[in-house]
Structure 1
Amino acid sequence: MRRLTTVLTATAVLVLAITLAPIGRPAFAGAWGSVDCRKTPSNPQCLVTVGTSGGPGSPGTTASSACHDPNGTVVPCSLPGVGWLADDGCYYQPATGDELAAAEAAGGILTPPAQWYVGQCGYPPVPGLTQFRVFGSAPGPQLLADMAVKALRLPAPVIRTNPSVAAQVLIRVPVWLWLDSWGDQTATASVPGMSVTATARPTRVVWSPGDGTSVACTGAGTPWSAGDDPASASPTCGHTYLSTSAGAPGNAFTLTAAVTWQVSWAGGGQTGTAPDMQTTAQVGVTVGTSQTVTIG
């Protein structure tokens, strides 16, 4: 599974491996050993279930992934009263009381949303090893968000034009450009008691007609219909070729559509964003000149 790698992006990375004097937390004793994921790997506490949305070119799917410690051993994703598994093999929950005071004494007082967390490390725990760490958002939702984002399946752009690129396009004749399959895609990662949904939203398409120019559009473009004037330009997204494709590879231009998707997530009382994604598609376009035939 994709481990917790982006939790600290909102804050400076600060990990203090501090062995504390035992701090009374009865929840530790009861939760450890309550489930052995190596013996019962299908236990819901050991799995994250991920489901993706369906749509044209992107059928919905459902699958489960196990949670692992840094050694690759399957371990619980979370432990009631103890915390959430992070990439270092520790189970974290917000530091409070004496733990928070100890963390602030060692590493300073933080500015929100940065927050001190205390982790009990290992499964079963390493005796006496308690570690402080700064997170910009709660480890549980972030872990599920990482998995949901990774599971997103974005359809490739489906390019449409008028005049159709299946025939020769003429210079100085406006070409309407638009895309099919334009809409949000989602994926949800869940464990018992919590789910996080990642959403990828198409926001922009950059067309590269192949003649050295580019056209940026904020939406899918306007589909041409039989009632539209074929000599008119698209009201939202189009291009007019001013040179033929003679001399280009295969005597055709390569028309490319590159779609930018903004990615966000929400769940577990948290929200966040992930890096933009991009999908592309290409078609060949033969561009020529109109021919006049003289009789007589």
Structure 2
Amino acid sequence: MLRRVVALIVALAGSVVIVFATASIASADCVADPVTGEVHCEEGEGGNNGGGNGNTGGSSTCKYDGKEIPCTGPGGSVWSSKYACWIGERGPDAMVPPDGQTKEDGWWHVCYFPPPGSSWEYMWIEAGEVGIDPVVLAERAIASMDLDPIEIGIVPESGANRAGLVGLPVWMWVDSPTEDTFGPITRSASEGSVSVSATASVSNIVWNMGDGTKVTCTGKGTPYADHYGKQPSPTCGHRYAKMSSDQPDGAYQVTATSHWVVEWTGGGQSGTIEFDLTTDPLPIRIGEAQVLTQ
């Protein structure tokens, strides 16, 4: 099958029309040399999609030759494992199908090839092979999960009549975890013949303790119980070195940022999307023990 069409000569009404392979390039991951047409790609950083109280943007990568590449290429083109290129815009109507093919069987599309030796060319793409980007379906599946930040479990507790003491252990944990606050949770999304399944889980939680300290904990943490007394948490804890009286409202503002990792597969592709969700600040008051003398 003919794969490379640099210049297609079509005889129309006794005249010769030369259709050159041209394409628009618009992508943060891939750029084309305006003279040579070579496409140079770098793995993207991922965008911000917003949502909840955190950043639900992320990056998504596909596999090629054992390496990770962006699933979306120049001009919004979509990576195809079958054709080993990003399938882009449709070729001009003046182009003709290869021998034995008709317009109902498919059409010429710009294919952008990954590095090394990045380039693009027109390739015959069979009907039904050009559709929605599976990454878009993965994002739809994530949206249907309706994920939320965790519920903070912490001792000392928050409240006007509650306070901890300098130097005593602070315990942090995920209170009443559910699939939509901690995972794992699986959802799918489909359009046409393309279906994508995505599974999301929290990989770690970063606790901002409000005193300039951040504590990264894996797992849900250990809920505090009275019988633990003054023991430190075995899984996720902190100690404040000074009182919170000089803080706004006299309290440290504690937040928990859960880092979500979503593994998705479908449409002949697979990838990973990562994002964060952060709780609203929770005020925690810390004082000092007073020694009474007579």
Task: Give TM-score, length-normalised by structure 2.
Answer: 0.57
- Any residues of structure 2 matched to 1:148-167 within 5 Å, and which? 148-166=141-159, 167=162
Q: Which has the higher strand share?
A: 2
Is this contact kept in 1: 2:172–2:221, CA < 8 A?
Answer: yes
1:9 is aligned to 2:70: yes
How far apart are the structure 2 equivalents of 1:183 and 1:146?
16
Residue 22 of structure 1 aligns to which amino acid in structure 2? V
- Any residues of structure 2 matched to 1:1-296 within 5 Å, and which? 9-10=70-71, 13=74, 15=88, 18-19=91-92, 21-23=95-97, 25=101, 28=104, 118=124, 139=132, 141-166=134-159, 167-180=162-175, 181=177, 182-191=182-191, 193-228=193-228, 230-294=229-293, 296=294
How far apart are the structure 1 equivalents of 2:285 and 2:254?
10
Spell out, residue by residue over 1:235-264, the C-alpha distance to the aligned partner (whole angstroms, 9 max, x if none).
111111110011211111101111111122
Which ranges of structure 2 fall in alignment gaps of 5 or more residues?
A: 1-48, 50-58, 62-68, 76-87
Is this contact kept in 2: 1:263–1:275, CA < 8 A?
Answer: yes
TM-fit CA distance, 1:267:
2.5
How far apart are the structure 2 equivalents of 1:168 and 1:110?
58
How far apart are the structure 2 equivalents of 1:9 and 1:198?
18
Is this contact kept in 2: 1:263–1:277, CA < 8 A?
Answer: no
Is this contact kept in 2: 1:159–1:281, CA < 8 A?
Answer: no
Deviates more, 1:265-274 or 1:175-184: 265-274
Residue 13 of structure 1 aligns to which amino acid in structure 2? P
Identity over aligned pairs, percent = 31
Which ranges of structure 1 fall in alignment gaps of 5 or more residues?
A: 29-80, 83-94, 122-132
Task: Give TM-score, length-normalised by structure 1.
Answer: 0.56
Is this contact kept in 1: 2:254–2:282, CA < 8 A?
Answer: yes
- Across the two proteins, how many residue pairs are aligned to each other? 205
Is this contact kept in 2: 1:154–1:279, CA < 8 A?
Answer: no
Note closer, same or farther for the CA distance 1:279–1:248 as it changes in structure 2 (3 Å cut).
Answer: closer
The two structures, once aligned, show a CA RMSD in angstroms of: 4.0
